[in-house]
Structure 1
């Protein structure tokens, strides 16, 4: 398995506990959504730890003081549709003023290759820190193609967040975009012959939206 300073695999007990609940096939749609939201917030807390700050002057009930506030580039959250939508609210809870873009991908069930059908990004995207999110990083095809599209539109400062990754997908994404910081909730064992993550948690989109 490749190792890089641009790959963070979380070991925090709260994240691991919530991922275990996600995996359980008995976990219903409502609880599943809440867990995805909570995990995205916990991961986002770490992924955004390098946001630039600047000292500004405010007045407390006691006195005036200089205190740090987020500065510099604005943030854009870009979920890969449709499952990535489940992670957006958790990130927005941390940075409510972030803009939200969307990249639509679906997986061809025969070739297992991603097919893009939609791309709408905040403008100007080149001035923003971009957080791409998708609960599952399986083959890595959708993530690679989504980031390809963002870079074609001028995006430069990009992070990728997922909840579960397969080694195959993580390696593919890192090799295609070594400049992108990747945050992984848990690295699973492998992909099966149908390109699903094992042990995984099934189809994240279906479980978030209650579809089959």
Structure 2
């Protein structure tokens, strides 16, 4: 999970900076530009939150609960909680196992309804099936 999160973070804009380690050594590193957040699609997406927190301790994380209706097999949103300024942020959408894609499509629709541009949504997924 951590490797997928790190690859997603590589897609975010950053600036180079000098970091002082706890032992006092200088190191050339990078600093992410402000305005990034994660959104986990509950329940399985929550498994990726710790990997994101390990890499970016202060990152804001939103949640969305989407389940398929048993009769229609359509994805339905039951809960969504995002940072209030999500429309200004780049979003790492976390959903580890992608099958039909209906859940992710619905999640992107909800994010767009909250003002997020589709071009700033990065999907983090471990497995995808045809």
Q: TM-score, normalised by structure 1?
A: 0.53
Higher share of residues assigned strand: 2
Structure 1: distance between partners of 2:29 and 2:51? 23
2:75 paired with 1:114: yes
Aligned positions, number: 126
CA contact (8 A) 2:19 2:29 kept: no
What are the within-5 Å matches in structure 2 for residues 103-182 of structure 1? 103-156=64-117, 157-167=120-130
2:17/2:31 contact within 8 Å kept: no
How far, CA to CA, are the matches of 2:29 and 2:96 in structure 1? Answer: 32
Larger radius of gyration: 1
CA–CA separation in structure 2 for the residues paired with 1:136 and 1:66? 37
What per-residue deviation string (whole Å, max 9, x for no partner) do you get for residues 182-211 of structure 1?
xxxxxxxxxxxxxxxxxxxxxxxxxxxxxx
Q: Secondary structure at 2:6's aligned position in 1?
A: helix
1:67 shift after superposition: 3.9
User: What SS class does the counterpart of residue 96 from structure 1 fall into?
Assistant: coil
Task: Identify if the C-alpha distance between structure 1 residues 94 and 71 changes in structure 2 by more than 3 Å, giving closer, same or farther.
Answer: closer
Query: Structure 2: any 5+ residue segments left out of the alignment?
Result: none
Spell out, residue by residue over 1:30-74, the C-alpha distance to the aligned partner (whole angstroms, 9 max, x if none).
xxxxxxxxxx21101112113323244566746xx7844314232
TM-score, length of structure 2 as denominator length: 0.83
Q: Aligned equivalents of 2:5 and 2:19: distance in 1?
A: 27
Matched, 1:99 2:60: yes
Gaps in structure 1 of 5+ consecutive residues = 1-39, 168-212
1:86 match: secondary structure: helix
Distance 2:53 2:73 in 1: 31
User: 1:70 aligns to what SS in structure 2?
Assistant: strand
Match of 1:177 in 2: none
What is the root-mean-square deviation in Å for CA atoms of aligned residues? 2.1
Q: 1:179-194 to 2 correspondence within 5 Å?
A: none
